[in-house]
């Protein structure tokens, strides 16, 4: 369908396959490095992302990048960052099923071209798209390894906007559990076990 990652991006930039194409300022395709071993998939662009055309640049995105940096991963070198939905839903509402289906080819092509070793799903929208049969909550499945048909390992983690509301570093709290999950991702890559 797409000839290259660049073709995928170019088509996405002018896409109007769903109604979000009418209200966005800019579609937000990706950030970071297309050579990264880790692909981070969030939900959808927020206000800042819509204005700048870059993913994960708002408050929650900045927190996520800070937490990745704490385990040694740099945004521009070690991570390929994108969202399930490429255009901002009005008032940051949850994307509809129809919007997720319309936007899915862009995400599938990103995975095919980038060929990540690990896919990190941030929040329920990303989980429902890539683990559609999984009915348990993020709290129940976070930190566990799943498998993508491409051969990549998948891990679901808390969405950073949730961590902004739960910032206690106490053991067992979401923020501490997030660091456990990121440390596990780091461990896997260090051991070259993915």
Residue 18 touching ligand SF4 (CB under 6 A): yes
Rule CB under 6 A: choose which of 1, 6, 16, 145 binds ligand SF4: 16
Buried b (16+ CB within 10 A) or exposed e, 73-97: bebeebbbbbbbbbbbbeeeeebee
E strands present in the chain: 31-32, 38-42, 79-83, 118-122, 145-147, 153-157
CB neighbours (10 Å) of residue 169? 8
Q: Compute the chain's Rg from CA coordinates.
A: 16
Question: Minimum CB separation from ligand SF4 for residue 161, in Å?
Answer: 19
Residue 15 touching ligand SF4 (CB under 6 A): yes
Residue 109 touching ligand SF4 (CB under 6 A): no
CA distance 58 to 63: 9
Residue 39 touching ligand SF4 (CB under 6 A): no
Rule CB under 6 A: choose which of 41, 67, 81, 103 binds ligand SF4: 103
For ligand SF4, which stretch binds (CB under 6 A), given 9-17, 57-65, 156-164, 184-192?
A: 9-17
Query: Which run of H or of E encompasses 162?
Result: helix 160-165
Q: Which is nearer to ligand SF4, 15 or 79 (CB)?
A: 15
Distance of CA 98 to the CA centre of its chain: 19
Residue 87 touching ligand SF4 (CB under 6 A): yes
Residue 20 touching ligand SF4 (CB under 6 A): yes
Angle, helix 59-70 to helix 174-190, in steps of 10 degrees: 50
For ligand SF4, which stretch binds (CB under 6 A), given 95-103, 134-142, 162-170, 179-187?
A: 95-103
Question: Minimum CB separation from ligand SF4 for residue 87, in Å?
Answer: 3
Binding site for ligand SF4 (CB under 6 A): 12, 15-18, 20-21, 27, 85-87, 99, 102-103
């Amino acid at each position: 369908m797409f000839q290259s990652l660049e073709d995928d991006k170019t088509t996405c930039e002018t896409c109007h396959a769903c109604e979000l194409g009418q209200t966005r300022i800019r579609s937000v395709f990706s950030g970071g490095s297309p050579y990264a071993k880790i692909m981070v998939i969030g939900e959808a662009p927020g206000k800042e992302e819509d204005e700048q055309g870059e993913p994960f640049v708002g408050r929650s995105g900045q927190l996520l990048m800070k937490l990745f940096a704490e385990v040694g991963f740099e945004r521009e070198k070690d991570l390929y960052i994108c969202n399930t939905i490429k255009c901002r839903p009005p008032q940051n509402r949850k994307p509809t099923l129809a919007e997720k289906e319309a936007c899915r080819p862009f995400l599938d092509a990103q995975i095919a071209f980038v060929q990540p070793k690990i896919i990190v799903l941030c929040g329920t929208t990303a989980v429902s798209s890539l683990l559609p049969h999984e009915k348990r909550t993020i709290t129940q499945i976070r930190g566990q390894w799943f498998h993508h048909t491409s051969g990549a390992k998948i891990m679901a983690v808390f969405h950073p906007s949730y961590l902004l509301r739960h910032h206690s570093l106490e053991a067992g709290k979401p923020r501490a559990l997030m660091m456990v999950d990121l440390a596990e991702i780091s461990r896997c890559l260090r051991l070259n076990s993915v």
